[in-house]
Amino acid sequence: MDLLSLHYRASRRAEFKTIDDIFFNQELKSWFVFKPELVIDLLRDDDRLIVPDTVANIKMLEARYKRQFPNLIYAVSHIPLLLNGEVHRDIRRGLAEIVSRGRPRILAGLPELMARHIAPLDQETHPEWVSARLSPLVGEIFGIMCDCPVPLPFPKLALTRLFDRFVSLAALGEAEKHAGQLRQRLAETAPHVDQAYAVALLVLGRDSLLGTLATAFHTILSENEGKCFADIEFPDFPPETGVAIAERIATTDITVGARTIAAGDRVRMYFQPISDMSSANKQALFGAGAHSCLGRPISLDVWRAMIETCKGFSSRLISVSCEFESNNIFVMPQFLRTEHAR
């Protein structure tokens, strides 16, 4: 199975017709779970399925390769998605407060942000959405949330690659460099903000929202080639997610139908099949249980502002092209290009 093909809705649907809802992948030594209802149930099982210890993994690599990654350890030590227990709960509460305080500022700024970043797409004949429009937009949104300057000094996926346990040493070294630059930039230009919380939001939140917006628009636009933007039926909820999987480790044996996930086994739960569920369950694209997405309300605010802006376009969509980054954890287009006519 080509995991990257799952980023494309058509090939994903074809793939799911031929595979089991849950099976053990010998190559990655992990259980793969694709059935949406089962994914949601397992995500909520926070006691028997915990997140891997990323800090311990990085320290193991430090010892093996005689390298130091202090900035990465600092970052992952404050990202709740990578933590368990009371530490996770404490940091999540602190981040929730920042998100809650930042949301009114973001809502107030969305009309101007849409006018500056998204509305000009209507006047272009061959626009590129990801790097030219969506990335600057999302960067400003997180700058407003964290009360720190933009642009942020790291490219997309530079830091979130550390979520992949198969990440290369070179990629870790690059992520360490960018994490250090981000911390230095925050110390110099935003000394008043809590650096730990800001790093957590900027590292995980930015790529998640950027990936969700870009992937969702790719799906919608690809299904509406030839239509005027004003005639496209944009859904109220993003139809795709920027996060492909959640990885957990079983703390005890778990029986799933005729299968038994043994204690110590890794479990990869795939979010993308949830996109084909009824709209009532689409919120599960933002996760479920203790590790669900803190930024869901803001993501939906941004989504609604974007689709309202696009509904006001006077142009017609001629064609769509997109290629995805080679990343099995995050769903991130390298580019999203469209052709418009009047």
Q: What is the mean pLDDT of residues 123-132?
A: 96
Residue with tokens 């995980």: 204
Beta bridge partners of 181: none
Please report the pLDDT score of residue 1 as a whole number.
Answer: 61
Q: What is the pLDDT of residue 73?
A: 93
pLDDT at position 16 is: 66
Q: Return the percentage of the chain with pLDDT > 90, whole number.
A: 59
CB 71 within 8 Å of CB 179: yes
**pLDDT 10s digits, 46-71:** 899 999 988 888 899 899 989 999 99
Q: How far apart are CA 34 and CA 158, in angstroms?
A: 27
256 φ, ψ (degrees, to nearest 5): -125, 100
- What structural domains and CATH numbers belong to the chain? 3-341 (1.10.630.10)
Q: What does the pLDDT read at residue 275? A: 74
Is the distance from CB of 31 to CB of 262 less than 8 angstroms? no
pTM of the predicted model over 0.95: no
138, 213 contact by CB (below 8 A): yes
Q: What's the rounded Cα separation, in Å, for the pair 302 and 65?
A: 42
Q: For 252-263, what is each residue's pLDDT tens digit?
A: 999 998 899 999
Residue 3: band (very low, low, confident or very high) from pLDDT cuts 50, 70, 90: low
- The mean pLDDT value of the chain amounts to 89
User: According to the model, what pLDDT value does residue 241 have?
Assistant: 86
- At 15 the three-state DSSP class reads helix
Span 198-253, pLDDT tens digits: 998 988 888 899 999 999 999 999 999 999 999 999 998 898 888 888 899 999 99
Q: C-alpha angle 24/27/30, rounded to 5°?
A: 40
Tokens of 72: 């990465």
Distance CA 259, CA 239 (A): 30
- Angstrom distance (rounded) from CA 129 to CA 115: 15
Dig out the tokens for 180 from the structure: 């250090």
Q: In terms of pLDDT, which residue wins out, 233 or 284?
A: 233
Does the pLDDT at position 15 exceed 80? no
Residue 339 confidence class, pLDDT cut points 50, 70, 90:
very high
How far is Cα 211 from Cα 243, in angstroms, rounded to an integer? 7
Distance CA 210, CA 135 (A): 6
Residues 81 and 54 sit within 8 Å (Cβ to Cβ): no
Residue 185 is which amino acid? R
User: Which is higher by pLDDT, 225 or 160?
Assistant: 225
CB count within 10 Å of CB 242 equals 24
- For residue 13, name the pLDDT band (cuts at 50, 70, 90): low
What mean pLDDT comes out for the span 263-268? Answer: 95
